[in-house]
Structure 1
Amino acid sequence: MSPDPNPELPEVKVEPVPEPLSPRASASHQPPRSLLARLFGISIWGSVKLLGLCILVGFFVLASQFNPSNPDVNMGAAIANVASTTLAALGWGVRNFWKPALAGAAVVIPVWVLWRLVSLPFRK
């Protein structure tokens, strides 16, 4: 007797897969943030970066000797002065980049070579 070529397979019940939740629906357990919280909400790292940017811009404003209380203040000339000072500082950095790079390399490269020699037996 040969086996039945079309044996009856047991019926498998397939349940529908639920639709994935959208990111807004999955976070629905939290109340929506207010407009002020969304506008001014900032992380600690964000506030550190903002403070650094304020200091950098303040440096250039003070370096350009901008005085808003002066009755002869000219905003166009003040912005041009800040831009001129910024470009002069960038130009100085480009012209003199090799000096701090060379001074740093005089310290870093020998220490790096010594570290590589000392750690050589421990590397595979």
Structure 2
Amino acid sequence: MNESEPPVVEPLVPPPEPAAPPKPVKEPPRPILKRLFGIGVWGWIKLIALCILVGFVVLASNFDPSSPDVDIPAAIGAIVRQTLAAAGWALQNFWKPALAGAGIVLPVWILWRLVSLPFRK
């Protein structure tokens, strides 16, 4: 530096602010029917299976809504009794096929899990 030259003073300038991230575009709300009935294929399959199951229970209880002597509390009681009876029957009679099926399915499932282990995260 020469003595004849004045010292260079850099102005104090604040660093530039980072650019603000773009604001997410707000999607319009879905229509009411889409929100109400917008379920996937698997959801519809489960809903149909539930309808069939409830239909079996209602038919097994001999509920007839067109009968003049309809008694809703008695019908609900009959449905509960029939459901418990069906559950008891299933526990008594379905353990053998379940055990036989498990003897085949579980070893295959364990083998599949072992084979696919390197490919899972």
- Which of 64, 67, 76 is the aligned partner of 1:67? 64
TM alignment of 1:24-35, pairs within 5 A: 26=24, 28=26, 30-35=27-32
Which residue of structure 2 aligns with residue 80 of structure 1?
77
- 2:12 matches 1:18: no
Which residue of structure 2 aligns with residue 93 of structure 1?
90
- In structure 2, relative to structure 1, the CA distance for the partners of 1:88 and 1:17 (3 Å cut) is farther
Amino acid at match of 1:54: C
Give RMSD over aligned pairs. Answer: 2.9
Distance 2:46 2:78 in 1: 25
Amino acid at match of 1:40: F
Identity of aligned residues (%): 56
Q: Deviations over 1:58-99 (max 9, x none)?
A: 010111111110001111111111111111111122223432
Task: List, as ranges, runs of 4+ consecutive aligned residues in structure 1 with deviation greater than 4 Å.
Answer: none
Query: Relative to structure 2, which stretch is displaced further, 68-77 or 97-106?
Result: 97-106
Structure 2 stretches of 5 or more lacking a match? 1-12, 112-121
Provide TM-score, normalisation by structure 2: 0.62
Amino acid at match of 2:70: V
Count the aligned residue pairs.
Answer: 96
Distance 1:99 1:14 in 2: 75
Deviation at 1:41, TM superposition (A): 2.0
